[in-house]
Amino acid sequence: MFEYHILPGVALSTLNDRYTIQTSRSFRVAPLATITNLTSEGFSSALIRQVLSNPQIRNRVVNEIVTLVTQKNYSGVTIDFERVAETERDLFTGFLRILNQRLKNRGRYYLSVALPAKTDDQIPWLRGYDYGGIGSVVDFTFIMAYDWHTPDSPPGPVAPIQEVRRTIEYAINQMPSNKIILGFPRYGYEWTMSNGSVQSARAVSVDMAIQLASSHQVPIQYSNEYQQPHFTFRDENGRRHIVWYEDARARVAKLLLVPRYRLRGVGAWQLGLHFPQSGFIVSELFDVQKVL
- Residues annotated as catalytic are 82
- In 3D space, the residue among 252, 237, 245, 186 whose CA is nearest the CA of residue 212 turns out to be 245
Give 80's contacts (C-beta < 8 A, 6+ positions apart). Answer: 3, 34, 35, 36, 37, 113, 114
Evaluate whether 3 touches 38 at the Cβ level (below 8 Å): yes
The terminus-to-terminus CA distance of the chain in angstroms comes to 17
The residue length of the chain stands at: 292
| CA 188/CA 184 separation, integer angstroms | 11
Residue 42: how many other CB atoms lie within 10 Å: 10
